[in-house]
Structure 1
Amino acid sequence: MNLTQSLVTAPVARKGVAQLDEALDRLAHADRDARQAAALNVGEIADPAAAPGLVARLWSEPDPFVRETLSWAITRVAAAATPLLLEALTSARAATLDRALHVLSKIADPATVDAMIPLADDADPHVAAKARWALARIGDPRAIPAFVAHLGVGDDTTRNGVTRDLASFAARAVPALVDALTSDKTHVRSHAAEALCFMGPGAEGATDVLSGALDDPDGEVRVSAAMALFDLRTPRAHAALTRRTKTADRRVRAIADRAARRPGGP
């Protein structure tokens, strides 16, 4: 039995401080409100010695509101809890992975990113999505390739999540998305253009490649590129787009016409 498994099954250990002992004991109370109050109390005490008990209770707590309070309490003893949370990332239990990732995202320590990145490609789509969400919240650019690897992959929900996550990196994700826009795979180019469109002004560094994408053989790529240029509102983006007011693609033409008629230019 490894440390994580023992934490899941063990009772909360007493720490020898009366107030903390009482609060840790009440984390196992049958009444939800009592557990909630206990989690708040342990968080307020913020004694690193409580970390094993808090993390153990996180795995077994059935109530989502109490779990969220436990998550907060764990962030109050982050240095002591982080090794336990990282060990939990080796669990085969999806719920454990989800909860560990959730708390690690709140702690937001860049030193945890390398351990989290492999889970962005987990076989369980919920775990993978949670890992990507957590990595985006931490915001360390080392995670960007893990998101780019999922361009064009999965259903609409998965794609939308990857789009939002990549956009959260703003200009730091632009070089990787520019490379993806030159992919020989249509679904990758289309999703890269969509992410740049969602990014708004942060995509300015992609202006040239977005301008070139207005001639992409795929219509969805062309439209996403046009919308990204429209949202940039820079002179270069405006010039590239308004040159397409006569293009054969009616959707791109409509976006170009809107740009040309926009009051005040870019």
Structure 2
Amino acid sequence: MRLLDALAAGNSSSRLEAALAVGTRPEPGFVDALVARCAIEPDFFVRDMLTWALTRLPSEITVPKLRAELRSEQAQARSQALHTLSKIGDPSAWPAITRSLLHDADDEIARSAWRAAVVLVPDGAKEGLAAELAIQFGRGDREVQLSLSRALVALGDVIEPVLRTAMASHEPMVRAHARATERLLRDPDVGFDLAVDQARRVIALGPERKETTTC
């Protein structure tokens, strides 16, 4: 009970120590308190430790609780549950990664959903996931676009058809984002900003000049 009380302490260091202690000596009886705290914990490092503590518990106990959190009205509850599911990596959670989560208007929820989806997706559903993700080319700021590109690249060569479609879009931002993602797929070591700059240069020069574009 003292550990559970410490998870709600006013001092973030105390909460961090409590989450570490719970994860070090995992007990199934802690799962509800850990999941509930994830939904409201303001400190990033404490949230990360809470996720670690949940990964230490049996997935047959944690995954149903986390799946239920995906229906929460609290944005942080959904985002943190997605993050934790991606760390647990239990394929049984895949059906809970819905289209609405992948397209959530909250960028943090959507990014968490993308990361969880590429970890949990079965091989037979990768093409469908790639199509859902590709709809969002051009969304958000640099960090959002980088997250989307990384998620798509993690799916591998199955994304090539959706890349070709997006690179033919009438929207310049969509074309640039898709082309940058293609460069990351071909060369994972290239920086995202460089890939975006090169993609924009190709678009500015026009398709007839793209083969002569230098790195």
CA contact (8 A) 1:136 1:165 kept: yes
- Asked if residue 192 in structure 1 is aligned to residue 178 in structure 2, the reply is yes
In the aligned structure 2, how far is the partner of 1:107 from the partner of 1:115? 14
**1:25 aligns to what?**
5
Structure ranking higher on relative contact order (CA contacts 8 Å, 6+ apart): 2
Q: Distance in 1 between matches of 2:119 and 2:112?
A: 10
TM-superposed CA distance for 1:46, in Å, is 2.0
Let me know the Cα RMSD of the aligned residues: 3.0
Q: 1:132 aligns with which of 72, 94, 114?
A: 114
- Judged with a 3 Å threshold, the aligned counterparts in structure 2 of structure 1 residues 44 and 197 are, in CA distance, closer, same or farther, namely same
Q: Deviations over 1:200-249 (max 9, x none)?
A: 168xxxxxxxxxxxxxxx942988x9xxxxxxxxxxxxxxxxxxxxxx62
| Cα gap change, 1:143 to 1:33, in 2 (>3 Å) | same
2:162 equivalent in structure 1: 176
Shift of 1:170: 2.0
Q: 1:31 to 1:201 in 2, by over 3 A?
A: closer
Secondary structure, aligned partner of 2:21: helix
Q: Distance in 2 between matches of 1:185 and 1:51?
A: 49
Residues 59 and 157 of structure 1: CA distance in aligned 2, closer, same or farther (over 3 Å): closer
Q: How many angstroms apart in 2 are the aligned matches of 1:173 and 1:109?
A: 23
Contact 1:23 1:42 in 2 (8 A): yes
TM-score, scaled relative to structure 1: 0.62
Q: Does 1:45 align with 2:45?
A: no
- Is residue 167–residue 179 contact of structure 2 (8 Å, CA) maintained in 1? no
Show the counterpart of 1:263.
Answer: none
The 2-side partners of 1:38 and 1:156 are apart by 35
Name the CA distance, whole Å, in 2 between partners of 1:155 and 1:66: 26
Matches within 5 A, 1:32-71: 32-71=12-51
Structure 1 residue 150, shift from structure 2 partner: 1.1
* 1:99-114 map, 5 Å: 99-114=80-95
Name which of 195, 212, 215 aligns with 1:253.
Answer: 212
Report if the CA contact (8 A) 2:167-2:176 is conserved.
Answer: no
Identity %: 30
Are 1:146 and 2:132 matched, yes or no? yes
Residue 220 (str. 1) matches residue 179 (str. 2): no
Q: What is the identity, as a one-letter code, of the residue corresponding to 1:253? A: T
Post-superposition offset of 1:80: 0.9
Distance, in Å, in 2 between the alignment partners of 1:182 and 1:64 is 36
User: For the structure 1 residues 192 and 120, does the alpha-carbon distance in structure 2 shift closer, same or farther, using more than 3 Å as the test?
Assistant: same
How far has the Cα of 1:54 moved from its partner? 1.4
TM-superposed deviation, 1:106 = 0.9
* Alpha-carbon distance in structure 1 between the residues aligned to 2:145 and 2:43: 30
In 1, are the aligned partners of 2:118 and 2:155 still within 8 Å (CA)?
yes
Cα distance 1:252–1:145, how it changes in 2: closer, same or farther (>3 A)?
A: same
* Matching residue within 70, 82, 86 for 1:89: 70
Q: TM-score, normalization: structure 2?
A: 0.74
| CA drift at 1:34 | 2.9
